Structure 1
Amino acid sequence: MTHRTIITPAPPGPVALAETKDWLGLATTGEDALVERLLASAIEACEGFTGQMPLVQACEEVLPVSGGFRTLATCPVTALLGVEAIAADGTRSPLAPDDYAFELGTDGSARFRTIRPGSASRVAVRFTADMALDWAGLPSAIRHGIERLAAHGYRTRAGEESEANLPPTAVAALWRPWRRMRVA
């Protein structure tokens, strides 16, 4: 099983905050922290729904050592940052580039295999993944869906419940063209 950790989360940023506050009709800064948390949650929900990480984040996936290629769970991968061998006692050491193979697909997928792992039974693969480097670079439907989901969370925080674990229909419609499904 793959274990992923977000090393550097993507902050929504001031433009996202301003656009969402405009959507909600908020003119003061009193609830900025709440709106920022809702935006961060909406970004996570967007990744969960589309199967793609919207904004650039540094990530790490821990994989078992394998001579065959394994596809990373995160998408779209944009760059490899490094690879570490993980010993049975949990200690880590850098793996030389000649000791592994890493391939980026044109669809944003990434494949990894271990050539010479030494005594390691697992490897930690660090990389960046994103659809866009910043808020302005996101496709408008993705951006608007994140804003709408954050606004939905803001408006329903007083106890109104919506369908559990599902984005509102309008948000799902905005994100559906970018949805990637994996067959297990």
Structure 2
Amino acid sequence: MSIPIDDLPDIPADLIDEIKAFLRLDHDEDDPAIAEMAGSASLLCESFTRQLLVARMAQDMLPVKNVWQKLSRLPVQAIDLVESVAADGLTQELSSDDYIVDIDSDGQGWIRLQTAVSVSRVRVSYAAGLVADWEEVPTMLRQGIVRMTGYFYANRDSNDVHQLPHAVSALWRPYRRMRMG
């Protein structure tokens, strides 16, 4: 189970301006709504690509096993903390001798317990994300967010929003991480 620690970083003013230019809006009245829609579009992008856009902290709760286990968020930048979690919720940091971590060339994070731990779960805290801040988000992903936000704005009173616009999915698809069974 993955638990987000840090929420999506605030949508920067320049991205809101880019969205307003796309929508041909010349007023600031809808800026708060546009920022919310851009946040939703960004989270949709993360869901579609199966990658966090802007780096932030995440946590995974994993069963205690002496096998390699994958972390759920991608791409992993650093694995910061591994803690045992008792049934009553109390945590204790594990020694680095108790586990091995690895981040492979695809940004997948892995952990393997080395010693017996007397609890049934461990919590792994780690940093994941494609880029450090919004300005570094790849152009195709950013353009998809702009277009998706425009779509949300244009259809804000409709109940018929059921699928991604084709242009948006075409922009995001090259960044999509596939899951193998």
Separation (CA, whole Å) in 1 of partners of 2:31 and 2:38: 10
Separation (CA, whole Å) in 1 of partners of 2:115 and 2:147: 48
Shift of 1:15: 2.2
Separation (CA, whole Å) in 1 of partners of 2:32 and 2:168: 22
Residue 37 of structure 1 aligns to a residue in which SS? helix
Matched, 1:24 2:19: no
Q: Describe the superposition over 1:71-120 as per-residue Cα deviations: whole angstroms up to 9, x where unpaired.
A: 11211111112111101111111112111111001111111111235322
Q: Compute the RMSD of aligned alpha carbons.
A: 1.4
Matched, 1:88 2:68: no
Q: Which moved more, 1:65-74 or 1:21-30?
A: 21-30
Aligned residue identity for 2:80 = L
Separation (CA, whole Å) in 2 of partners of 1:133 and 1:117: 36
Q: Which residue of 1 aligns with 2:134?
A: 135
Name the TM-score, length of structure 1 as normaliser. Answer: 0.92
> How many residues are treated as equivalent by the alignment?
180
Shift of 1:4: 1.1
Percent identity, aligned pairs only, is 34
Q: Which moved more, 1:19-28 or 1:142-151?
A: 19-28
Q: Describe the superposition over 1:52-83 as per-residue Cα deviations: whole angstroms up to 9, x where unpaired.
A: 11111211111111110011121111111211
Matched, 1:173 2:170: yes
Matched, 1:48 2:27: no
Which consecutive unaligned segments of at least 5 residues does structure 1 have? none
Name the TM-score, length of structure 2 as normaliser. Answer: 0.93
Q: Which residue of 2 aligns with 1:65?
A: 64
Paired residues of 2:64 and 2:117 also in contact (CA < 8 A): no
Shift of 1:22: 1.8
Q: Which runs of 4+ in 1 moved over 6 A?
A: none
